[in-house]
């Protein structure tokens, strides 16, 4: 048994026309009596039983490696999912908090407005990261040399699309909570009877906040329109590809992608309409002192989120590497198993 195990470990398996060639193992074989190696100068070929034993050992080793690779990918995925859920929970808390407050009109503070602007930029940055990862996986899925399986890539794309939509919705929640000017909400003039020309500080403050809010919303609308343009271009490219496709599976996938992009375009148009026609937000004013404390807390939460999102990106790369190990192992195992089954069936 030790002899056979040693041969299996040093043998070099080469697949050529379905035939196993193991020169290193053959070199260790004892000479056949009828045809001594010293006379012919050729190493003795391994017997059919020895070849089968080598294949069986190869299958066993590969199965062990595959199990370890799959366990590693599963462990990293679990870490990634846990961190993602934690990040999402904290993002939701921040968005909920910011969407419910505004700077008080009787102070000069702009902390909440600036915090909302920063939050929208942060949400956009994470959405762009998700979009880049999604597009990278789409490109890999359409190629022929991807290290990840099509099933893994399809799941990744669906998950990333879902995250992008969450970020867009969160951005809209924050944007619609920004201050809007409404006639009659705050007295415009200090004394409407004797000095009509003097505007109240509260009114001036509200007007400034409203003007800045319009700029923030305009930038968000521009981003949504850019998304529509990108989706429309991608949809046209997919439609052109669909006209040339003949494989039923490819046709089905392209049709699904086209339908999803059409739905997303309609969603973006609705989101633009929602943003520009939103009524005054139901927010509560925050005093200057409370705004300071809240802003400090948001800074701390944001710093933690940045650190954890960097860890999230590292885990994404680590999981991709772990899953990339699984696919080639599976493919090699299938080939060796098929060859072993062929030998067992033929009895050779």
What tens digit of pLDDT does each residue of 174-191 get? 999 998 766 445 555 455
Helical spans, DSSP H, in the chain: 2-10, 23-27, 37-40, 48-99, 111-142, 150-176, 201-244, 248-277, 288-346
Greater pLDDT, 59 or 26: 59
pLDDT band at 6 (very low <50, low <70, confident <90, very high): very low
CA–CA gap between residue 244 and residue 262 (Å, rounded)? 20
Average pLDDT over residues 216-236: 95
Comparison of pLDDT for 96 and 209, the residue scoring more:
96
- pLDDT > 90 in the chain, percent: 51
pLDDT, position 145? 76
pLDDT at 199: 67
pLDDT band, very low/low/confident/very high, at 209 (cuts 50, 70, 90): confident
Contacts 24+ apart (CB under 8 A), 45-51: 46/7, 46/22, 48/343, 48/347, 48/348, 50/4, 50/7, 50/25, 51/20, 51/22, 51/343
Distances (CA, A) of 294 to 115, 124, 297: 10, 22, 5
pLDDT at position 34 over 70: no
> What is the average pLDDT score of the chain?
82
Q: How large is the average pLDDT for residues 138-144?
A: 84
Residues near 123 by beta carbon (within 8 Å), at least 6 away in sequence: 91, 95, 167, 170, 171, 174
Q: Would you say residue 9 has pLDDT above 60?
A: no
- The pLDDT of 127-142, averaged and rounded, is 92
More confident residue, 132 or 193: 132
Buried b / exposed e over 208-241, threshold 16 CB at 10 Å, is ebeebbeebbeebbebbeebbeebeebbeebeee
- What is the structure's pLDDT at 210? 82
326-335: list long-range contacts, CB under 8 Å, 24+ apart.
326/66, 326/69, 326/70, 326/73, 326/149, 327/147, 327/148, 327/149, 328/147, 329/62, 329/65, 329/66, 329/69, 330/66, 332/62, 333/59, 333/62, 333/63, 333/66, 335/15
Residues 209 and 107 sit within 8 Å (Cβ to Cβ): no
Model confidence, pTM: 0.76
| pLDDT per position as a tens digit, 319-342 | 999 999 998 898 888 888 888 888
Q: Token pair of 205, please?
A: 């403050």
**Tell me, what's the pLDDT at 204?**
77
User: What is the pLDDT, as a whole number, of residue 196?
Assistant: 53
In a 10 Å sphere around its CB, with 0-12 CB exposed, 13-18 middle and 19+ buried, how is residue 35 labelled? exposed
What pLDDT, on the 0 to 100 scale, is given for residue 200? 72
Tens digit of pLDDT for each residue in 269-322? 999 999 988 887 888 988 888 889 999 999 999 999 999 999 999 999 999 999
Q: Where are the domains of the chain?
A: 81-325
């Amino acid at each position: 048994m030790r002899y056979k195990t040693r041969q299996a470990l040093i043998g070099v398996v080469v697949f050529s026309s379905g035939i196993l060639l193991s020169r290193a193992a053959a070199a260790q074989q004892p000479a056949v009596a009828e045809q001594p190696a010293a006379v012919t100068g050729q190493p003795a070929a391994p017997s059919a039983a020895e070849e089968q034993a080598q294949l069986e050992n190869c299958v066993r080793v590969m199965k062990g490696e595959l199990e370890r690779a799959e366990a590693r990918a599963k462990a990293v995925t679990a870490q990634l999912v846990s961190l993602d859920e934690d990040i999402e929970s904290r993002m939701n808390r921040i968005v909920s908090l910011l969407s419910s407050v505004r700077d008080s009109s009787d102070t000069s503070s702009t902390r909440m407005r600036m915090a909302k602007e920063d939050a929208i930029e942060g949400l956009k940055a994470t959405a762009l990261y998700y979009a880049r990862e999604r597009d990278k996986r789409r490109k890999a899925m359409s190629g022929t040399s991807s290290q990840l399986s099509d099933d893994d890539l399809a799941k990744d794309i669906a998950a990333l699309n879902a995250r992008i939509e969450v970020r867009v919705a969160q951005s809209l929640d924050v944007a619609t909570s920004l201050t809007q000017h409404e006639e009659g909400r705050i007295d415009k003039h200090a004394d409407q009877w004797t000095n009509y020309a003097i505007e109240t500080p509260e009114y001036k403050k509200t007007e400034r906040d409203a003007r800045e809010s319009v700029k923030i919303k305009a930038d968000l609308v521009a981003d949504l329109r850019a998304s529509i343009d990108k989706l429309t271009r991608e949809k046209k490219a997919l439609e052109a590809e669909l006209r040339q496709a003949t494989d039923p599976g490819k046709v089905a996938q392209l049709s699904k992608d086209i339908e999803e992009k059409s739905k997303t375009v309609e969603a973006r148009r609705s989101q633009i309409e929602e943003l520009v026609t939103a009524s005054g937000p139901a927010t509560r004013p925050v005093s200057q002192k409370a705004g300071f404390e809240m802003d400090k807390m948001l800074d701390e939460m944001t710093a933690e989120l940045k650190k954890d999102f960097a860890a999230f990106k590292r885990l994404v790369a680590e999981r991709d590497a772990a899953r990339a190990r699984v696919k080639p192992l599976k493919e090699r195992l299938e080939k060796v198993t098929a060859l072993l089954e062929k030998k067992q069936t033929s009895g050779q």
